[in-house]
Amino acid sequence: MAELAYHQTTGAKVARYVIYAVLIAMVLFYLAPLFVMLSTSFKSLDEIRTGNLLSLPSSISFDAWRAAWSSACTGIECGGMAPYFSNSLKMMIPAVLISTLVGAFNGYILSMWRFKGSDTFFLLLLIGTFLPFQVIILPMAQVLGMLEIEDSTTRLILVHVIYGLQFTTLFFRNYYVTVPGELVSAARIDGAGFFRIFFKILLPISIPTIMVCLIWQTTQIWNDFLFGVIFSSGDGQPITVALNNLVNTSTGVKQYNVDMAAAIIAALPTLIVYAIGGKYFVRGLTAGAVKG
């Protein structure tokens, strides 16, 4: 490879620069909205009104961020995003953990303890991954009604766990089918039971897949708007719904800087999760694809 690089023709060099140029242009294009959001959130309302969308703020002001966090009005409440941020956290953390653990358990059974009809069962679960949100809203509402769960957070945890299960099951099942069944056989001969094999042997080697599920579920659940707006109410709403309310509250002047700051606050957790776990995500998705 290195030798080839030395003997590149002029044409190949030009082609390479063109590729870089195109890539850089795309990066700028995709980052532009983020840049606008960030710079707008640090501007004052006056500057937004008079200035250019793409210009940098003349002075950095955190007023908009403070307002977005603790005093902006979402509908009739004026407590900022903070309470809804915490709602989202309270909903997301249990939902992510439960759906990941149960998914791992499902995957373990569907790959290592096949039962009659387990393949059909898996197929049905797979179909679940193709079902759009909208399809399940009505039946879900009926079920929630029958269960008589009042608390918004509990309702959303349940909904997200159920909707997320087919994905987490799929991830774990597809990872565990690459694990040799002899590992389970060996453990059975060693005397380990169903749960011990799962917790002592399979779960510890599933870190990449666990990371995939955590990231996937965190993103899905945190960013969800539809379930949030339908199955929660009042002060139990998640941050996505609150952001919508904040942006759509139409009294007085539109505070673009606050809107932008609030939007960034709402997006921050998933950004952080990707920054920390992104490499695991790619590694986990390709785990088992290549031997080694």
The verdict on 178 binding other proteins (CB under 8 A) reads no
Binding test (CB under 8 A) with other proteins, winner from 82, 201, 229, 264: 201
Q: Is 190 in the site for other proteins (CB under 8 A)?
A: yes
Q: How far is the CB of 224 from other proteins (least distance, A)?
A: 34
| Residue 118: alpha-carbon gap to chain centroid | 29
Q: Does 204 bind other proteins (CB under 8 A)?
A: yes
Q: Cβ closer to other proteins: 73 or 203?
A: 203
Candidate ranges 44-52, 74-82, 197-205, 233-241; the one touching other proteins (CB under 8 A): 197-205
Instruction: State the Cα–Cα distance between residues 143 and 8, nearest whole angstrom.
Output: 65
**Residue 182: which of 170, 174, 190 has the closest Cα?**
190
Least distance from C-beta 292 to other proteins, angstroms?
10
Instruction: Tell whether the torsion through CA atoms of 152, 157, 159 and 160 is positive or negative.
Output: positive
Is there binding between residue 177 and other proteins (CB under 8 A)?
Answer: no
C-alpha distances in Å from residue 247, one per residue of 89, 226, 253: 21, 16, 11
Interface region with other proteins, contact rule CB under 8 A, candidates 10-18, 76-84, 180-188, 262-270: 180-188
Q: At what angle do helices 207-223 and 256-286 cross, to 10 degrees?
A: 150
Q: Which of 31, 135, 205, 271 binds other proteins (CB under 8 A)?
A: 205
Q: In the set 28, 135, 186, 282, which binds other proteins (CB under 8 A)?
A: 186
The C-alpha angle 196, 201, 204, rounded to 5 degrees, equals 120
16, 188, 254, 279: which one contacts other proteins (CB under 8 A)?
188
| Cβ(214)–Cβ(277) below 8 Å | yes
What separation in angstroms does the CA of 91 have from each of 137, 223, 238, 267, 286? 18, 12, 8, 16, 29
Minimum Å gap between C-beta 181 and other proteins is 9
Distances (CA, A) of 59 to 56, 62, 74, 112: 9, 10, 27, 61
Among 38, 192, 264, 267, binds other proteins (CB under 8 A): 192
Does residue 182 bind other proteins (CB under 8 A)? Answer: yes
Q: Does residue number 191 form part of the binding site for other proteins (CB under 8 A)?
A: yes
Q: Which two tokens stand for residue 18?
A: 């063109």
Dihedral (Cα; 53, 59, 64, 66), 10-degree rounding: 150
Q: Which is nearer to other proteins, 205 or 268 (CB)?
A: 205
211-230: contacts with other proteins (CB under 8 A): none
Q: Which of 5, 76, 146, 189 binds other proteins (CB under 8 A)?
A: 189
If you ran DSSP here, which 8-state letter would residue 131 be given? S
What residues make contact with other proteins under the rule CB under 8 A?
180, 182-183, 185-192, 196, 200-201, 204-205
